[in-house]
A and B are shown apart, each in its own frame.
Chain A
Amino acid sequence: MKRYGRGIWPMLALFVLLLVSLSFMSDATHNSEQFGRLYSLLLLTNALGLVVLLGLIGMNLYWLLVQYRRRAAGARLTSRLVLMFVVLAVVPVSVVYYFSLQFLQRGIDSWFNVQIEASLEDAIELSQSAFDVRLRDMLHLTKGLAGELTEVPSAVAPLSLYDLRVRSGAIELTLLGANGRIIASSGAEATDIIPDRPADAVLLQARQGQAYVGLDPVGDELRVRAVVQVPTGGPSAEPRILQALYSVPERLNEKADRVQDAFARYKELAYLRVPLKHSYTLTLSLVLLLSLLSAVWGAFYAARRLVAPIRDLAEGTRAVADGDYSQQLPVTGHDELSFLVQSFNVMTRRLAYTRDEADRSQQQVEGQRTYLAALLANISSGVISLAPDLRVRMVNDAAAQILGLGSEECAEAALETLARQHHSLQPLVDTVLEQQRQETAQWTAEITLFGNRGRQVLICRATTLPGDDVHPGGLVLVLDDITALIQAQRDAAWGEVARRLAHEIKNPLTPIQLSAERLRRKFLDRMAPEDAEILDRSTHTIVQQVETMKEMVNAFSEYARAPQIQLQVLDLNRLVREVLDLYRGGRGERGRPAIAAELDPAAPRVEADAGRLRQLLHNLVKNAQEATADSAEAHIRVATRVIDSADEQPYVELSVQDNGPGFSAEMLAKLFEPYVTTKPKGTGLGLAIVKKIVEEHGGIIQAENAPEGGALICIRLRPTGPASHSHGPGA
C-alpha cells in the first residue's frame, strides 16, 4: 500500500499519456479523419486513465486518513499542505475552465448565422431553378426522340438508338418494354455494358403516360435522366419507354457540386452544433479533471516529500524522549531540513555517549557499594553510619546482631527513637550525644548495655565524617562486643594470681604449720611450765594464723577458680526462702538482725546455677548482717520483683537492703573490686564474688545507698538466663 502511486515517474508517464490521448480526442471531435475512428477508444482510454488516477488519489487519501486517525507524526502537517496545494490548484483551474466553457459555447454559436443559412438555401433553390430550364429542354428533346422511334420496330431499335444518341448528344439511350425489360440500348461510354435502369417508380410513372425528368447524382457528377413513353403506332403495338441520360456541362456541374457541398456541409454542421458543443465540453472537462487530479496527486506527493524529514524528526524526538538514543535519521538533500536532521543525529549520538558514560560511572559506584556492603557484612565489628542529625543511614549485620536490632527497623530511624524503642541502647545513645555536644571528631568509649541478652560490654569507636554541600557528612560508629574478652582476661588474670598464691603461699604454709605442731608436741611436755606456756602460746598463734592464711588463700582460689556453672530452671523465690530459712534460726538473738522477705509471687522462673545463687545470697546476707552488727534495730530486707519494660523482656530484680551505715562515696567507686572491705576481718572478696556470679549469669549488679539509709544491692537477671555464648564459663 505504501509504495503504490508514490513514484514520480509512473505518474508522470500516466499524465503525459492521458494528455496525448486527450489532444487526439480533441482532434477527433474536430472531425479529423485520422482520429475519428479512434474516438471511442480514446474516450475509453481517458476514462480508464482518470479512474486509475482517481484510485491512486483515493489510496493516498485513505493512507492520510489512517495516519491522521493514528495521530502519526506529520499527518496533520501533510493534511494541511495537501489542502493548501489542492485549493491553490483548484481555484485557478476552475476559473480557466469556466471561461473556456463560455468561449466554447459562444464560439460555436458564432459559426452559425441565419443569413448564411438563408443564402445557402437560396443558392440551392437558384441552382435548382437553373437546372429546371435545362431539364425541361432535355425532356422536350427526349420526347422528340421518342416520337422518332414510334415507327421503328424493336428488332432494329439499336441502330436507330445509336443515330438518335449521336444526334441528340445524350450519354445513353435505352428502350424498355412495358414490363421494364431492356429492348435496346446505346451508350457513349463503352465501359457501361449494363445500361442504367430507371427506378421502378419512374417506370410505373412513364407507363401511365407521365413523362419523368430529373437530376440524378451519380458519383461526383450530375446527370439528367428523362423517361418518356414512346408513342405507339397502332392499338396492337406494344407500349415502349425511352430513357435518355444527359450529362451536365462540366462548368455547371462543378458549380452545382460546390453549392451542394457547401450547403450539405453547413447543414451538417448546424445539425451537429449541440453534439459538437457537448463533445468539446466533454473533452475540456476531461482535461480539467486530468489537471485537477494530477494537481491533487502532485499535492500529495509534494506534501509527503516535504513532511517526510519532519515526520522522521518528530518520530526520532519521540523515541529520544522515550529514552531510545540509538535513533539515526536518513539525511537526504542539502537544504535546511537536512541540516536539522544532521544536527539531530549528532545530538542523539552525544546523548547516547553521555548516557553510556553515566551508566559506566553508576556501575562503578554500584560495584564499590557492593564491595563495601560485602566488606561490612563480613567483618565482625558492628558498623553504624549516622547522618549529622543522628539518623541511621546504614547498619551492618554485625552491628544489628550486637545491638539486637532488625536491619529493617534501623533504616532511616533516628538514634534517639531507637533508644526509646530499645531502652538497653540508652547508654550508647547517651555517650554519642555527649560526644556530639563536645564536638569530638574521634573518640573511643567503653559502653555497658543491659539488654535482652544480658550484660554487654562494647568498645565504641566513632569517627566524624567530613561533609560537603552534596553529602552532609555524619558519624561512623564501630562497635566491638568485648564482654567475653573481658571475662576471659579477668578469669585468666585471677587464675594466675590464684595459682601463684597457692604455689608461693599455700605450699609453705603446711610445713610451717607442721613444724609448729611438731615443736609443740616434742618440746611442750619437756619444757618448764613458764617456757612451755610461751611455746604453747606461740605455736598456737602460728598454727592459728597459718590456718587463717590457708582459709584466705582458699577463699581467693574459690574466687579465681573458673567455675563450671550448672544452669537449671529454678524458682528464685523458693531459693531465696530456703537460704533465708538458714538465717531465721538466730532470730531475736542479740546482734542478729531481723530478715524480711518480700517476694513477688509473679516472679518468673530463671535459668541459673542454684549453688552459685545460694553462695551469692549467703554473701549478701552475711555482708548485711555484718554491716548491721552494731545496730540494735537491725533489719534486712530481701525482695524479688518483676520489672516490665514495654519493648524488652521483663527481668527479675533481687534486692538486699539493710539499715546499716551504707557505703561511703569512696567505697562505692570500687565496691566490687577484690580486697576492698570495710570489715576488720573480711577477705574483701565477698562482693567481688557476687559480682562475678552475677556476670556469669549475664546479669548486672548495682550498689547504692538507699534513700532511707543503709546499703542497697540490686541484681537484675533475665528469666531465660544468660546467653551462653558470651557469658559461659571462662577458660
Chain B
Amino acid sequence: MACADDAYFSVRDARTQLKDGVYLLDANVVYRFSDAAMEALQNGIPLVLEIQIKVGRQRAWLWTDTVAALSQRHRLQFHALSDRYVAHNLNTDQRQSFAALDDALYALGAVRGFPMLDQRLLEAGADYQVRVRAALVVEELPTPMRLWAYASEQWRLDSAWYTWRLQP
C-alpha cells in the first residue's frame, strides 16, 4: 500500500497515432493512491479517476486556442462480496473487475487507442499542442467528504500536464 508521501499521479508517456482519419491516444499513467484514498476505497467509497485531454493550436503572439477538450472517466469501486475491484468506464459504460488494486490501476493507466480527435478538425501545417493529465475528481466524492477533501493534501491527487506537439 502506498504511503501518503508516495501518493502521486503521473503521466509517464503519451502519444498520438492517426488511424482512419482519427487521432488515437496512447498513454501510460501511473496512479499511486494516498492512505486516505486507499482507506476510502477499502470502505466502499467509489473514486472517480479522470484523464483530461486538451488539444490547442499554438499561435505566434496570442494565447493557445483550445480546439478540443475531452476527458475519460473511470469509477473505481471495491466489491466486497467478490473481493474484487470493479473499474467502470463512465464514457463507454464498460466494466472490468480485478482481483488486485494494482492490476486495476495498471489497467486504468494503460490508455490504448482512445479516439481523441477527428483529423478534419485540425488544419494541416499548423502547430498544435496536446496536453494530458490524470486526476482524482473530488467533486464526485460523497458530499460530506468533499469539503474536507478540498482542504486535505491527501486528496489532492493530480498529475502535471504532459505536453507534446502535434503537427498534422
A196 to B162, CA, bound (A): 32
What CA separation (Å) do A219 and B95 show in the bound complex?
7
Residue interface mask A208-239, B partner, CB < 8 A = 1: 00000011111100100000000000000000
* A271, B43: Cβ atoms closer than 8 Å: yes
Q: How far is the CA of A518 from the CA of B138 in the complex (A)?
A: 174
A555 at the interface (CB under 8 A from B): no
Closest to B85 in A: A217
- A268 sits at the interface (CB 8 A): yes
Q: A29-B143, A268-B45, A279-B143 are in contact. Are A201 and B81 (CB under 8 A)?
A: no
With contact pairs A127-B81, A259-B81 given, residues A272 and B144 touching in the complex (Cβ less than 8 Å): yes
Give every chain B residue within 8 A of A218 (Cβ-Cβ): 95, 97
Would you call A39 and B100 a contact (CB within 8 A)?
A: no
Distance of A196 from chain B, by nearest CB (Å): 9
B97→A267 contact, CB < 8 A = no
Of A36, A131, A268, A282, which one neighbours B147 at CB under 8 angstroms? A282
Q: How far is the CB of A122 from chain B (nearest CB, A)?
A: 12
Answer whether residue A329 sits at the interface, using C-beta atoms and an 8 A cutoff. no
CA distance in complex: A276, B144 (Å): 5
A131 to B100, CA, bound (A): 20
Asked whether any CB of chain A lies closer than 8 Å to the CB of B84, the reply is yes
Contact of A201 among B43, B100, B146, B150 (CB under 8 A): B100
Interface residue B153 (Cβ < 8 Å from any Cβ of A): no
Within 8 A of A (CB), among B64-100: 79-84, 86, 95-100
Chain A contacts for B143, CB-based, 8 A: 28-29, 31, 36, 39, 279
Is A546 part of the binding interface, using a Cβ–Cβ cutoff of 8 Å? no
Q: B144 near A29 (CB under 8 angstroms)?
A: yes
Chain A residues positioned under 8 Å from B39 (CB to CB): 271
Cβ contacts under 8 Å, B147 to chain A: 39-40, 43, 278-279, 282
Contact B80 A217 (CB under 8 A): no
Q: Are B144 and A279 in contact (CB under 8 A)?
A: yes
Within 8 Å by CB of A268, from B44, B81, B103, lies B44
A222–B84 Cα distance when bound, in Å, is 12
B142 in complex: contacting residue of A215, A216, A272, CB < 8 Å: A272
Chain B residues whose C-beta falls within 8 Å of the C-beta of A37 in the assembled complex: 139
With A214-B84, A218-B95, A218-B97 already in contact, the answer to whether A267 and B144 are too (CB < 8 A) is no
**Minimal beta-carbon separation of B62 from chain A (angstroms):** 32
Task: With both chains docked as a complex, state the minimum distance between the C-beta of B104 and any C-beta of chain A, in angstroms.
Answer: 9
Distance (whole angstroms) from the CB of A478 to the closest CB of chain B: 107
Question: A36 vs B81: C-alpha distance in the bound complex, in angstroms?
Answer: 28
- Let me know if A275 and B145 touch, CB within 8 A: yes
A253-286 vs B: 1/0 string, CB under 8 Å? 0001001100111011011100110110010000
The range of chain B's interface size is 20 to 34
A669 within 8 A of B: no
Say yes or no for A124: interface residue by CB 8 A criterion: yes
Query: Per-residue 0/1 for B13-56: is the Cβ within 8 Å of any A Cβ (1 yes, 0 no)?
Result: 00000000000000000000000000110011100000000000
Does any Cβ of A come within 8 Å of B114's Cβ? no
- Contact between A278 and B144, CB atoms less than 8 A apart: yes
- Contact of A128 with B by CB under 8 A: yes
User: A124-B81, A201-B103 given as contacts; is B146 within 8 A of A40 (CB)?
Assistant: yes
Is B40 in contact with A271, judged by CB distance below 8 angstroms? yes
In angstroms, how far is the closest chain B Cβ from the Cβ of A193? 14
Provide the bound-state CA to CA distance between A23 and B83, in Å.
39
Check B148 for interface membership: any CB of A closer than 8 A: yes
Please state if A216 and B80 are interface contacts (CB–CB under 8 Å): no
The docked-state distance in angstroms from the alpha carbon of A131 to that of B84 is 14
Smallest CB separation, A369 vs chain B (Å):
88
CB-defined contacts of B146 to chain A, threshold 8 Å? 39-40
Q: Contacts of A275 on B, CB cut-off 8 Å?
A: 142, 144-145, 148
Residue A199 interfacial (CB < 8 Å):
yes
Q: How far, in angstroms, from A268 to B39 measured CA to CA in the complex?
A: 11
| Cα A22 to Cα B82 with chains together (Å) | 40
Q: Which residue from chain B places its CB closest to the CB of A222 in the assembled complex?
A: B82
Provide the A175-214 mask, 1 if CB < 8 A to any CB of B, else 0. Answer: 0000000000000000000000001011000000000001
Q: Which residues of A contact B144 (CB under 8 A)?
A: 29, 31, 272, 275-276, 278-279
Contact of B95 with A278 in the complex, beta carbons under 8 Å = no
Least Cβ–Cβ distance between B113 and chain A, in angstroms: 14
Q: Is the CB of A268 within 8 A of B95?
A: no
Contacts of B83 in A (CB 8 A): 128
Which of chain B's residues 112-168 have a Cβ closer than 8 Å to chain A?
A: 139, 142-148, 150
| Chain A residues with CB below 8 A from B79, complex form | 217, 260
Q: Please tell me if the beta carbons of B43 and A217 are within 8 angstroms of each other in the complex.
A: no
Name the residue in B45, B79, B82, B148 with the highest tally of chain A Cβ atoms < 10 Å from its Cβ: B82
The answer to whether A264 and B97 touch across the interface, beta carbons within 8 angstroms, is no
- B44: which of A217, A219, A267 is its contact (CB, 8 Å)? A267
Residue in contact with B97 in the complex, picked from A216, A270, A279, CB distance below 8 Å: A216
Separation of A216 and B98 alpha carbons in the complex (Å): 9
Please, how many angstroms separate the alpha-carbon atoms of A214 and B83 in the complex? 10
CB distance from B57 to the nearest CB of A (A): 32
What are 17 inter-chain pairs, A to B, with CB distance below 8 A? A29-B144, A39-B143, A40-B146, A124-B81, A128-B83, A131-B81, A201-B99, A217-B79, A217-B86, A217-B95, A263-B80, A272-B142, A272-B145, A275-B142, A275-B145, A278-B147, A278-B148
Which B residues contact A (CB, under 8 angstroms)?
A: 39-40, 43-45, 79-84, 86, 95-100, 103, 107, 139, 142-148, 150
* A199-B98, A263-B81, A264-B44 known, 14 other contacts, Cβ within 8 Å: A31-B142, A39-B146, A199-B103, A202-B99, A214-B99, A219-B95, A222-B82, A268-B43, A268-B142, A275-B142, A275-B144, A276-B144, A279-B144, A282-B147
